[in-house]
Every structure is written in C-alpha cells, then in structure tokens.
Amino acid sequence: MDTADRLIVCGGCNAKLGPGKLENILKDLHQDKKPNVMVDFETTDDAAILKINDDTAIIQTIDFFPSMVSDPYLFGQIAATNALSDVWAMGGSVISALNIVGFPEEMNQSILHKILKGGLEKVTEAGGFLAGGHSIQDHRPKYGLSVNGIVSPKKILRNDTCKLGDDLILTKPLGVGIITTAYGAEQIGEEEFNEAIKSMTTLNKYAAEIIRDYPVTACTDITGFGLLGHLNEFLHDEYTAELDSTNIPIIPSAYDCAEELLVTGGGQRNRNFLEGKIDFTFDDPALEEILYDPQTSGGLMFSVDPKYTDEILDKLSQLELPSAKIGKIVPKGDSEIIVK
C-alpha cells in the first residue's frame, strides 16, 4: 500500500479512558430517570435501553476511536464491528447506524472513502442500515458509529445479573491489543497480525444468534478494559469469579509478544485500576498481560447455568473463532477474581 494511503497506528480500544478516570468523572452526574429508561450509564452497561412498549425496546450505543491498523479499509471494518457489538451484548438486533468521523482536511480523501466503505460493509453484514452521519476536521483520523438496535424488554441481557454457580463462556480469543502493538513496532509478521484482524472483523452477531436461544443470565463484550476489567464489572461486587487459565482462548502469538514485553499502555491502566482485586495463583507475567490487555472488537463473555454449557459450546464450535468455558461464578471471597 502506498504510504499516502496509510494511517498512523495508535488507537483502537487501547485509546479508551481508563476505568478509574471514568468512575471519578461520572460519580456525581445524575438525573431523574424517566419511566421508560430501562438501562443507562449508571450501571456501566454496554448500551442504553429505552422501552417503547411491552414488546419493543430501543438500544442506543456509540463507539469510535483512532486507528489501530494502517489500512484504512480494515480500520473502517474493525471500528464498525466494535461499535455494533454492544447491541448484541445487550441481547438485541441491529437496525440502523450513523457514521462518526474526525478527519484532517489536508489528508488524502481516498483514505476516508476506504474507511467509510469498510464500515458500510459491516453495518450491512449486521443487518442494519447506514443512514448518514457527522464529520469534523481533526488532526488525526477517527471513526466509529452511533448504533440503534431493538430488543424485547423481556429478553434484555445486562452485564450485572450473573448468578451464583453460573459458567463463564468467552467467544473470541484474547490478545489483539498486544498483537497490533507488536505489529506496529514491526516485531511480528503478517501471518500473526492476520490472526488479530480475523478476530477484530468478525461480528459478534453469529455468537449472539446462538446464545439467545438459551437462558443466559448476563452478557458483555470484551473491549478496552480487558477481560479482567469487564469481568470486574460483571461481578458487581456480589460474587467472585474463578478463571481456569488453561481454557482461556488466546491468540498464540500474543503470548509470545507478552513474553517479550511488547505490551500496551491501556493494559497497564487496567492493571492499576484492578490492583488488589485479582489473585493470580501462579507466576506467569505474560498471561497476566493478556488478561489485562485492551481488546478492540473483542468477543462476548456471558454467564449461564452449567447444564446448558456443553450444548452451547457445541454450537459455538461451528463458528470460525474459538469459544470456551473460561471459569465460573462462586461465592464472594477475599479476591474479586481468582486465576488458577
């Protein structure tokens, strides 16, 4: 690709504000809740939900960031896939989206065309309609979507309603943040990088269509706060999660990169925020980095009664990316999360 058609790499969900900063910023921002508001930002869930009637609720979400890849078309695909994911994490279906664009006026306009083309293709694949958008001049390209979805008020999935004894299942491998960082530093090749691209451009739609047939108790998607950060929200200070490290799906090259200390600033922010909450029962610094690693367009993590686990995993195994049972919900102990 010609250098004039390339993007600067330093973004994705690694650009997300750390959870500690957001908590402080939002702590005194309150408003009187309207009767039709079913989910809002006070529960740190993946999207807002407003009830329209007894059969329909609207899901609203937004996500955008600077590029984590140099190819503008891939950036458009990844950013759109990431933004659309929140609708499926809430149990819904995508209906429409609007583009959000920041772009330097002096930059080659064909770059923006490629970004928007990638985004359009993913909205279409999701079953939605791209209805327009808004753009501003910015010193660095940024792209994402505002997305609307629909869901039955009786079938909403939240990120704070898991139950004691539930199994935890993850639908994509971890490590894309570390891999994109290493690739940007020219420390890994195209083959390893393409593993991350495959994960980041795969819609969570397909996993969501499988799990909606089961009594899933809670769900979220793994993005900027990493597996451990999103699991911390998932437990809502009521339970402890035990993770089985041997079952957690990981992109193999991500572990190799972590061993070489090719890690992310976002991962360090996540580690700092979760200090004192995680019990690693064995010494494996590379694995720790992967569990803290910000994921761009990561998979769904959901909880479900163990009697459904094998059947769900059998169906998920037909998808292109690996899913796995990664742990279980146990009574609250001294640590929020135990990694065994």
What would the pLDDT profile of 292-328 be if each residue is shown by its tens digit?
999 999 999 999 999 999 999 999 999 999 999 999 9
pLDDT for the residue 15: 57
Most distant CA atoms of the chain, gap in Å: 58
Domains of the chain: residue spans and CATH: 3-151 (3.30.1330.10), 167-339 (3.90.650.10)
What would the pLDDT profile of 218-262 be if each residue is shown by its tens digit?
999 999 999 999 999 999 889 999 999 999 999 989 999 999 888
- Known binding residue 221? Answer is yes
- Known binding residue 45? Answer is yes
Catalytic site positions: 13
What would the pLDDT profile of 102-129 be if each residue is shown by its tens digit?
999 999 999 999 999 999 999 999 999 9
Tell me the DSSP string of 59-77.
Answer: EEEEEEEE-SSS-HHHHHH
Reported pTM: 0.91
- Known binding residue 44? Answer is yes
pLDDT at position 48 over 50: yes
d(CA 338, CA 277): 9
Tell me the DSSP string of 155-200.
Answer: S---SS---TT-EEEE-S-B-HHHHHHHHHTT-S-HHHHHHHHHHH
- Known binding residue 133? Answer is yes
What would the pLDDT profile of 189-204 be if each residue is shown by its tens digit?
999 999 999 999 999 9
pLDDT for the residue 33: 76
- Known binding residue 181? Answer is no
